[in-house]
Amino acid sequence: MIETVWEGAYAVLRWQMTPVNVLNPESLAAFREALETVLTDARCAGIVITSGRREFIAGADVHTIQRLMGIAEVEELYRVVWQVQEVFLRLETGGKPVVAAIGGAALGGGYELALACHHRIALNAPHVEIGLPEVQLGLMPGAGGTQRLPRKIGFIPALPLILEGRRLPAQEAHAQGLVDELATTSDELLEKAFTWLSKKPLPQNPWQDPKFEPPGGGIYHPRNAPFLAGAIAKAHEKTQGHYPNVLYALSALYEGLQVPFVRGLEIEAMYFVRTLQAPSARAMVRTLFIEKQRLDKLPHRPAGIPPAPIRKVAVLGAGMMGRAIAYVCATAGFDTWVKDQSPDIAQGARTFAEKLLRQRQERGRLSPAEAEATLQRLHIATTYDDLAGADLVIEAVIENRPIKNQVYQDVEPLLAPQAILASNTSTLPITSLAQATARPERFIGLHFFSPAERMPLVEVILGEKTSEQTLAWALDFVRQIGKTPIVVRDSRGFFTSRVFGTYVREGLRMLLEGVPPALIENLGRQSGMPVGPLALADEVSIALMYQILRQTEADMGRPLPDDPVHHIGRLFVEELKRPGRKGGSGFYEYPANGQPKYLWPDLKKYFPPRAVAPAEYPDLMDRFLYVQVAEAWRTWQEGILFGQADGDVASILGWGFAPYTGGVFHFAEYVGWERFRRRSAELAEKYGERFYVPV
């Protein structure tokens, strides 16, 4: 687990765990023992901590966090948390110079261990990430991160790294002072470590000096005080009272930097204990850590089917979604071809990829050679013949059934015998689309989310005749491109679009009711959603929503006047020519000079606002969340989902449903079942049956 190798007078402690280096009671005990052995060895003139795996140390594992959250007694929980601090303090104050040779990801507790060392050298490679991302799981640094990092790089630079959980590539981490040196190869990494030790450095960190002042001054230094006030305001604005872990981390920073270092560690441990006991932390760890890891292991993949032999991928349509999907495929190593009816739009897929690759190079996340190799894999097709032999085709054209049917008929005869034909449709039933193909058993839905180059979820939709092999290979593909898949059964809107759409539609209903647009947006965010429903409608595209509704009405053979998109979509798309952000205007104005967007002032002419008393605010906020939860439960009862936890992961990763609740199904447990049922019934009675939850 912890291998000790001697290089002359230097001890190398190499973490070597299977399947991944993590902090848990067993590894911590092994590290403590190995550390104590070399610290007390008279021949030891210095210590190198490194890894024998691709990662350095990935932080605490799932079982450790679960165990901590299962400790009810505060005193016992504090004692267990402090054990980690004790080991890192022993490393830091043991009288031997210690250098961290970071050859892979050093995240959370892994980077906190590196911070306790006296020197840090990182391999300058794209797979190396460094940071303290705990807040993204509802937690906070609990092994010295809030105390050592600001003492190393300064209070102001440390704030966003801790409060936003940023992960930095090695090059950027070095530029910001998180590591002290960079190495270009693994051999050089160790060579530099030994070189540093050979200089016989003092075995202590600067903050162990009683007279130490953090870089940039203390908390109340004139240059820091305004930033502190701004950080407090920003934290409250961002959390909306839903994420106590962010405020606890800020409190640990603020209080800990005003006292001696060890006392600061004790303050951090106290706030970490509080964080572990917060309902939001439990909910987020369950969904974003435990359940996401489960889905990443493909639990719904049919057994006994060999891995997918996908090499050549074709993307039909090079619009906003198509070009992003093509980029994702090319970066994952697939030979990727893009076809669009417009040659200029098709060529735009390559321009899009070049821009993103350039940005990654500038941040040190990609080498020039890797960027060029990606571009070499991305091809622009001029005819369908260029797609011959493709193993996977992903259709990403407009939500229009006749157009989709035509492209299927054009491309299908050219495909490899066992090729998969997939649609990126967000709403049209897969079974009905498969009817236009000669091999419905090889047809499946692969629903990406915008922006596809960043969003981590893919919804895999089964048609009635989709074969097990097609499902297995589709899941293999999703894993290969680095996304998390959920598998759902077929229906109109599937799971994600059907549930997510209720949030936007509730905002549109409020607009029709006369609720002021700014209030709609602000209360949407205050409920815990990442953006307001009107802004989201602009991002998704009002025109696309209207197109989907019109196709749905055509499929059903009747108009749907109760859907707010029926009226608002016609108004904005056909009359006002304001289709959304992509078209330059929608509910918001998008200044050409790069200034921030703002709500279209003329909205009041079409939707006269009424006075809304503050007493109505709780209802408006609850409507945003409860309408989504109610629809999610209906999809569950209809058998669309394979598991409720799948829906929780999808709701957060797919459209950002109030992460602090743990997702659309865990929401009831978060608020309490009795309160949840009572509130659902109240909303259904006041605003309609769409709030009725069938549980």
Residue for token digits 């920003």?
234
CA distance linking residue 631 with residue 652, whole number of Å = 15
Q: Catalytic: which of 92, 129, 134, 172? A: 134
Query: Residue 439 pLDDT > 80, yes or no?
Result: yes
134 included as an active-site residue: yes
Average pLDDT value for residue range 346-359: 95
The DSSP code sequence of 653-664 is HHH---GGGTST
Does 327 share its domain with 400? yes
Does 484 share its domain with 593? no
Q: Quick check: bond before 451 cis, omega within 30? A: yes
Does 257 share its domain with 125? yes
304 burial type by CB count under 10 A (0-12 exposed, 13-18 middle, 19+ buried): exposed
Buried b (16+ CB within 10 A) or exposed e, 538-567: bbbbbbbbbbbbbbbeeeeeeeeeebbbbe
Query: Residue 226 pLDDT > 80, yes or no?
Result: no
Q: pLDDT tens digits for 315-339?
A: 999 998 999 999 999 999 999 999 9
Task: Select from 65, 100, 95, 262 the least CA-distant residue to 183.
Answer: 100
Does 144 share its domain with 42? yes
286 domain residue, yes or no: no
Query: Residue 238 pLDDT > 90, yes or no?
Result: no
The DSSP code sequence of 18-62 is SS---B-HHHHHHHHHHHHHHHT-TT--EEEEEESSSSSB--B-H
146 domain residue, yes or no: yes
Report residue 472 CA to chain centroid gap.
24
Q: Final residue of a domain: which of 474, 490, 506?
A: 490
Average pLDDT value for residue range 38-46: 96
Q: What is the pLDDT, as a whole number, of residue 234? A: 81
Q: Which range (17-31, 264-278, 554-568) has the least confidence?
A: 554-568
60 included as an active-site residue: yes
Query: Residue 225 pLDDT > 80, yes or no?
Result: no
* β pairing state of 181-183 and 129-131: unpaired
Q: pLDDT tens digits for 605-639?
A: 999 999 999 999 999 999 999 999 999 999 999 99
301 domain residue, yes or no: no
Does 628 share its domain with 678? yes
Average pLDDT value for residue range 485-495: 94
Q: What is the mean pLDDT of the chain?
A: 94
Q: What is the pLDDT, as a whole number, of residue 138? A: 94
306 domain residue, yes or no: no
CA distance linking residue 321 with residue 521, whole number of Å = 25
CA gyration radius, the chain: 27
213 domain residue, yes or no: yes
pTM confidence score: 0.92
Does 474 share its domain with 509? no
Does 464 share its domain with 578? no
Structure tokens given for 676: 């949840």
Q: What is the pLDDT, as a whole number, of residue 231? A: 78
109 included as an active-site residue: yes
Q: What is the pLDDT, as a whole number, of residue 693? A: 87
Number of other residues whose CB lies within 10 A of the CB of residue 610: 9
DSSP E strands: which ranges in 264-318? 312-316
The range of the structural domain enclosing residue 619 comes to: 497-691
DSSP code at position 287: I
Q: Catalytic: which of 59, 103, 108, 109? A: 109
Residue 598, strand partner residues? 589
Q: pLDDT tens digits for 108-163?
A: 999 999 999 999 999 999 899 999 999 999 999 999 999 999 999 999 999 999 99
Q: What is the pLDDT, as a whole number, of residue 186? A: 94
573 domain residue, yes or no: yes
Please report which confidence band the pLDDT of residue 677 belongs to, taking 50, 70 and 90 as the band edges: very high
Does 543 share its domain with 681? yes
Q: What is the pLDDT, as a whole number, of residue 235? A: 81
Q: What is the pLDDT, as a whole number, of residue 175? A: 95
Residues 6+ apart with CB under 8 A from 367: 126, 361
Q: Which range (392-406, 439-453, 551-565) has the least confidence?
A: 551-565
Structure tokens given for 680: 């659902």
* β pairing state of 378-380 and 335-339: parallel
Q: Catalytic: which of 46, 92, 108, 112? A: 112
Does 220 share its domain with 347? no
Query: Residue 228 pLDDT > 80, yes or no?
Result: no
Please report which confidence band the pLDDT of residue 649 belongs to, taking 50, 70 and 90 as the band edges: very high
295 domain residue, yes or no: no
| % the chain with pLDDT above 70 | 100
Task: Select from 167, 166, 162, 139 the least CA-distant residue to 152.
Answer: 162
Helix (H, G, I), strand (E, B) or coil at 484: strand
Q: Which range (211-215, 299-303, 640-644, 651-655) has the least confidence?
A: 211-215
300 domain residue, yes or no: no
Q: What is the pLDDT, as a whole number, of residue 695? A: 78
CATH code of the domain in which 486 resides = 3.40.50.720
CATH code of the domain in which 83 resides = 3.90.226.10
Q: Catalytic: which of 11, 34, 58, 60? A: 60
Query: Residue 596 pLDDT > 80, yes or no?
Result: yes
Q: Final residue of a domain: which of 228, 255, 277?
A: 277
CATH code of the domain in which 630 resides = 1.10.1040.50
Q: Which range (123-127, 213-217, 222-226, 394-398) has the least confidence?
A: 222-226
Does 463 share its domain with 583? no
CA distance linking residue 668 with residue 422, whole number of Å = 35
Evaluate whether 394 touches 446 at the Cβ level (below 8 Å): yes
Query: Residue 594 pLDDT > 90, yes or no?
Result: no
Average pLDDT value for residue range 493-504: 94
Q: What is the pLDDT, as a whole number, of residue 227? A: 75
Q: Which sign does the torsion angle of CA 157, 160, 163, 165 carry?
A: negative
Q: Final residue of a domain: which of 450, 471, 490?
A: 490
Does 543 share its domain with 672? yes
Q: What is the pLDDT, as a whole number, of residue 417? A: 87
Does 52 share its domain with 76? yes
Question: Any idea how long the chain is?
Answer: 695
Q: What is the pLDDT, as a whole number, of residue 577? A: 95
Q: What is the pLDDT, as a whole number, of residue 61? A: 87
Q: Which sign does the torsion angle of CA 187, 188, 191, 192 carry?
A: negative
Q: What is the pLDDT, as a whole number, of residue 453? A: 95
The count of structural domains within the chain is 3
Query: Residue 694 pLDDT > 80, yes or no?
Result: no
Please report which confidence band the pLDDT of residue 219 belongs to, taking 50, 70 and 90 as the band edges: confident
